[in-house]
Structure 1
Amino acid sequence: MALFSRRPKKPAEPSGDAVDTPADATAADATAAGDAPAAQATADATGEVDAAAAPSVSISVSSYGGLGAAPAPARPDADRAPAADAEPPATLPRMGGREWMHTAPEQTETIPGLRDNALLRDALGRVGDAPASQALLDVARQLMQGHVFLRVKGDARTLLAEGKPLPLGVANLGDRVFALAFSSGAALQASLKADGDADTSAMGQPVLTVLQHVFASNYDGIVLDPASTPSRAVLPAELLKRAVEQADPELTVKTLLAAERTPEISAQVADALTRVPLWVAAGLAEGGVPGLAEGRTPDGSRFLEVYSHPLEVAVMGRGDNAVPITAVQLAKALRSDDAITGVVVDPAGPWIRLTRDELAPVLALGQ
């Protein structure tokens, strides 16, 4: 088990691999999922899910000027919400001009032996392609799977063998102190090149392990890929704490969708849906009727949108509210409308579409 050094009560002098955030960085608040539902929902409220009355989640984020370079001017279609009937893979919605991914990118090792977190790396690479708040949400949601790398002052293996704490690199922004984390070997190399401190080592850790250490040590958040401007991000502790509180402790669905698509993946995701926290996107359908968002294919098939985390709803950029739903409620909603062909899980990607036959474990609940 890794041993971490706790943050001192007063910020210490930066270690050799610390990175200072630019002094002109400013805080910018943006509401990613507002209280007023948007008009992109297409399905009527069904079963036991009351889209109008159920408690919803609105996520407000602060960028702290931590998205690298200033965001590029928005293109005319950059802030446009996806069409109401847009659903992968037929009519693919976009965020900042990019298409949602069906599967995760191929795994890479830019440093031999260190497997990159490809989803997080690519999300950071898209910073600047969308409004700052949207880019931050995209990074935050992709952080909720896999691992990140840490830079440790000295030799991590020796320090662990001696039972000593691991001094992590930090970044100072005024009186705030942020832990450094990296998505890939390339980002680690960029950090080493930037500060020239060769007396450091790298270690990969599950993301939730790192975040729990950040909270326990009272860091103000994390800086991801600090030397990779503009492909870097500052995630404040407030956002991270809320994201962890609302997440499945095992990050089951997100982990499955990030993995290789084997023949067993559909059954594994369907089984996970019976026991993990789930969310739906609630908004207003035509005529102002509250409903749940769904996708439709060209042949008219309807798929209810289901999400593994409220961040997955917020990043769609439609202003929908994230509403929690139990597996039993999902089963009743599907049984109440035979025209719903199945579900699409995490439409912002990586996503998977499950038919009613594949959802048999879910549909069997509550009968």
Structure 2
Amino acid sequence: MALFSRRKKSDSDDVSAERPEGVIEPGEQPVAPAEPPAAAVPQVTISTSSFRGVGAPADATPATDSTPPVAARPSARPPGPMEAPEGRESIPGVQDNALLATALAEISGAAQPVQLLNVARQLLQGNVFLRVKGDARALIAEGKDLPLAVATRGDEQLVLAYSSGQALSQSVHADGDRDTSAMAQPVMALLRYVLDGPYAGLVLDHASGDARAVLPTALLERMVSEADADLRIKTALSAKRTESTASTIVDAIVAGAPLWIAVNQAEGGPVGVAESRAATGERFLEVFSHPLELLALGRGDQAVPLKSEQLVAAIRGDDGLTGLLVDPAGPWIRLTRDDLAGLLTRAE
């Protein structure tokens, strides 16, 4: 259950809570801002006939069953693993956000825009840890609000959050302030709280050296506005894979979870839509659960919203299309025509 109450930007910096997921003793310290992410890629409109195009040249490196091929562009980041790393519990009872911690660990020196976009996309799943001034359990027992620890940057305030109990413990070691405690919160509840408050953004793992990031409110607003409110696809992809994972994702698509495609245009050529090809030649249309999933690849493609009727028309209109590749940056999944039967049947 979310620990936040909705409030206006003019309200105080406290939050209300019912029960913390875990409690330890951290502190807080100011941090400097990271470089802001690149401007959003403009959207374009295409017809369903454009699905037969390919938005990027074929990858010359042979693919395996566990590695989706991507366009061979110097600025593109390689695909991530098919499955998320196994979760660990730095604080008993609450799993760390392993994907977020991994994305932050890629930062060395000043964060690059594409690295911040990668951090932002991986933030959109699981829990994050927050710091509270005072004894959270005692405050909750007394029915009092929980004031979040924040960093200051001039006249601005930024909420502190952590990808793991380990990252939070590093901040305890760094500042020695033991008059604070910590708890876990679902990421969407945190993002809405930051946007509803008088904050300039969110600081992640501020005491972890280079492996930290500052996400400004402009980026947080886009993350929330374009995200599935329940993060159904992201949640399924980041969880341990089971026999029902594919059907869970297809059910989310049928129920209206938003999707995007990647489009590009060679100089003087037609607009094409990005595909991936398996080593054995199967073709998979790339689809994305959020525009950040595409932008973090750094390929220069444009994110275009994909309506369910367009998706169905694309699959039915191209017999050579094997299925879909969802979120190629990873964690990802391939969905075959058999997997998509529920979507195709419902559209009839």
Same fold (TM over 0.5): yes
Whether contact under 8 Å (1:172, 1:178) holds in the other structure is yes
Q: Are positions 1:89 and 2:58 aligned together?
A: no
Whether contact under 8 Å (1:221, 1:236) holds in the other structure is yes
- Deviation, 1:234, is 0.2
- Which residue in 1 is equivalent to 2:293? 312
* TM-score normalised by L of structure 2: 0.84
User: Could you tell me how far apart the structure 2 residues matched to 1:96 and 1:340 are?
Assistant: 24
- Deviation, 1:33, is 3.3
User: Could you tell me how far apart the structure 2 residues matched to 1:203 and 1:319 are?
Assistant: 38
Quick check: 300-309 or 266-275, which moved more? 266-275
For 1:189-228, list aligned pairs within 5 A: 189-228=169-208
- Which residue in 2 is equivalent to 1:20? 30
- Deviation, 1:30, is 2.6
Query: SS of the residue aligned with 1:295?
Result: strand
1:11-41, CA deviations, whole angstroms, 9 ceiling, x for partnerless residues? Answer: 99xxx9332124xx5755633636799xxxx
Q: Are positions 1:232 and 2:212 aligned together?
A: yes
User: Could you tell me how far apart the structure 1 residues matched to 2:107 and 2:29 are?
Assistant: 19
- Which residue in 2 is equivalent to 1:56? none
- Deviation, 1:181, is 0.3
Q: Structure 2 counterpart of 1:201, which letter?
A: S
- Which residue in 2 is equivalent to 1:46? 48
Provide closer, same or farther for how the CA distance between residues 157 and 96 of structure 1 changes in structure 2, counting only shifts above 3 A.
Answer: farther
Provide closer, same or farther for how the CA distance between residues 277 and 34 of structure 1 changes in structure 2, counting only shifts above 3 A.
Answer: closer
- Deviation, 1:205, is 0.6
> Which blocks of at least 5 consecutive residues in structure 1 are unaligned?
38-43, 52-80
- Deviation, 1:83, is 5.5
> For 1:149, which of 124, 129, 137 is the aligned residue?
129
Provide closer, same or farther for how the CA distance between residues 221 and 117 of structure 1 changes in structure 2, counting only shifts above 3 A.
Answer: same
- Which residue in 2 is equivalent to 1:132? 112
Provide closer, same or farther for how the CA distance between residues 177 and 10 of structure 1 changes in structure 2, counting only shifts above 3 A.
Answer: farther
Query: SS of the residue aligned with 2:223?
Result: helix
- Deviation, 1:7, is 9.7
| RMSD between superposed Cα atoms in Å | 3.2
Whether contact under 8 Å (1:151, 1:202) holds in the other structure is yes
Provide closer, same or farther for how the CA distance between residues 271 and 3 of structure 1 changes in structure 2, counting only shifts above 3 A.
Answer: closer
- Which residue in 2 is equivalent to 1:73? none
> For 2:39, which of 31, 39, 54 is the aligned residue?
31
For 1:192-341, list aligned pairs within 5 A: 192-274=172-254, 275-284=256-265, 288-341=269-322
User: Could you tell me how far apart the structure 1 residues matched to 2:118 and 2:130 are?
Assistant: 21
User: Could you tell me how far apart the structure 2 residues matched to 1:243 and 1:294 are?
Assistant: 25
Provide closer, same or farther for how the CA distance between residues 159 and 176 of structure 1 changes in structure 2, counting only shifts above 3 A.
Answer: same
Q: Are positions 1:118 and 2:98 aligned together?
A: yes
User: Could you tell me how far apart the structure 2 residues matched to 1:106 and 1:92 are?
Assistant: 25
Whether contact under 8 Å (1:247, 1:277) holds in the other structure is yes
User: Could you tell me how far apart the structure 1 residues matched to 2:297 and 2:291 are?
Assistant: 10
Percentage of identical aligned residues: 47
Query: SS of the residue aligned with 1:357?
Result: coil
Q: Structure 2 counterpart of 1:142, which letter?
A: Q
User: Could you tell me how far apart the structure 2 residues matched to 1:323 and 1:262 are?
Assistant: 30
Q: Are positions 1:350 and 2:328 aligned together?
A: no
Q: Are positions 1:172 and 2:152 aligned together?
A: yes
1:211-261, CA deviations, whole angstroms, 9 ceiling, x for partnerless residues? Answer: 111111121110000000100000001110111000100000000000000
Quick check: 101-110 or 112-121, which moved more? 112-121
Whether contact under 8 Å (1:170, 1:180) holds in the other structure is yes
Provide closer, same or farther for how the CA distance between residues 50 and 246 of structure 1 changes in structure 2, counting only shifts above 3 A.
Answer: farther
Quick check: 203-212 or 156-165, which moved more? 156-165
Whether contact under 8 Å (1:170, 1:178) holds in the other structure is yes
User: Could you tell me how far apart the structure 1 residues matched to 2:6 and 2:171 are?
Assistant: 20
Q: Structure 1 counterpart of 2:330, which letter?
A: G
User: Could you tell me how far apart the structure 2 residues matched to 1:90 and 1:308 are?
Assistant: 16
Provide closer, same or farther for how the CA distance between residues 113 and 366 of structure 1 changes in structure 2, counting only shifts above 3 A.
Answer: closer
Whether contact under 8 Å (2:52, 2:318) holds in the other structure is no
- Which residue in 1 is equivalent to 2:20? none
Provide closer, same or farther for how the CA distance between residues 33 and 319 of structure 1 changes in structure 2, counting only shifts above 3 A.
Answer: farther
Quick check: 90-99 or 107-116, which moved more? 90-99
Quick check: 109-118 or 249-258, which moved more? 109-118
Q: Structure 2 counterpart of 1:284, which letter?
A: Q
- Which residue in 1 is equivalent to 2:141? 161
Q: Structure 2 counterpart of 1:253, which letter?
A: I
Whether contact under 8 Å (1:283, 1:291) holds in the other structure is yes
> For 1:185, which of 165, 170, 178 is the aligned residue?
165
Between the two proteins, the alignment pairs up a number of residues equal to 327
User: Could you tell me how far apart the structure 2 residues matched to 1:130 and 1:106 are?
Assistant: 28
User: Could you tell me how far apart the structure 1 residues matched to 2:109 and 2:278 are?
Assistant: 27
Query: SS of the residue aligned with 1:330?
Result: helix
> Which blocks of at least 5 consecutive residues in structure 2 are unaligned?
14-25
Whether contact under 8 Å (2:250, 2:343) holds in the other structure is yes
